[in-house]
Structure 1
């Protein structure tokens, strides 16, 4: 009985709905894409447990308040309790990256993307870190993958421009 209780909540994500949202996102105009992306993000934020949702909220709130250490603590508790919840790994990766802890951030993004390969925000984070650690070619590939999932992801064109400037500067 205890093993069942400690196993964590059942998946709360409606996979069929998520598949439909991703299909619509690929074809949407920019305005509609923003709305669909928010729906996807909401769906991906469902842990299946009010207690775990609270840890996610506390982690997110700490990140927004600039309390990176507290965010890591909350999100570590979340990933410990619900290791199959990609959003916990994704947000903890953001917290690690804010502390310039790129190794742990990359490991968390790898876990998030293993669980949710179409998690465009996690992919964007991966591309950003790859650009920061001097892997512009890999970063470009990841950003192109983001655009194949979410063609109107607003930050990708700026990120690609940054990579182009870095590459241009390196060849002079």
Structure 2
């Protein structure tokens, strides 16, 4: 009797796994549709609604599809929050090694690299993150910040404008554009 239940459990598990695997493309397509819809809404949202839409997008972008990779991301974020950027780099490097198509991992490692003053690797990771997710306005903003760090206000301003086109109510982007406007566009006489 026990052997029959063991076989039955194996059959049920295999059936469930097959069903999940067959649903994966449909779930992926739904997430992509949701992300596209949210990005369209964000561009036209009022400031209050933009906050909720931003949170929803960040929640989507934060999911790697693997609990183990999500755990590595969280470990890296926790290390950054504790002021341990070198430890964050280690966790996030493990994440990017094991999930090279997960844009958020590259973005967060770029933040960690920036914090420890490794600007070249930070830029490379931002470029990778933006290759994987060209709509990540936080990564575009970070790239603009890097350009400012390199004393290239024109490219920084261009990056901030690109980020603002996606998220018009992002306060840091708006502040950065205001800060650089006179430098880039010149003062009105």
TM-score range with shorter-chain normalisation?
0.7 to 0.9
Contact 1:112 1:122 in 2 (8 A): yes
Superposition CA RMSD, Å: 2.0
By how many angstroms is 1:99 displaced? Answer: 1.1
More helix by share: 2
Q: Which runs of 5+ in 2 are unaligned?
A: 1-23
1:143 aligns with 2:160: yes
2:54 paired residue number: 37
SS class of match (1:84): coil
TM-score, normalised relative to structure 2:
0.80
1:161 aligns with 2:178: yes
**Which structure would you say has the larger RCO, counting Cα contacts within 8 Å and 6 or more residues apart?**
1
1:73 aligns with 2:77: no
Contact 1:131 1:163 in 2 (8 A): no
2:11 paired residue number: none
SS class of match (2:171): coil
Contact 2:157 2:184 in 1 (8 A): no
2:69 paired residue number: 52
SS class of match (2:111): helix
1:23 paired residue number: 40
CA deviations over 1:19-74 (Å, ceiling 9, x no partner): 00001000100010011011001100110011000000000111111100110000
SS class of match (1:73): helix
Contact 1:44 1:87 in 2 (8 A): yes
Aligned length: 160
2:106 paired residue number: 89
SS class of match (1:155): helix
Q: Which runs of 5+ in 1 are unaligned?
A: 1-9
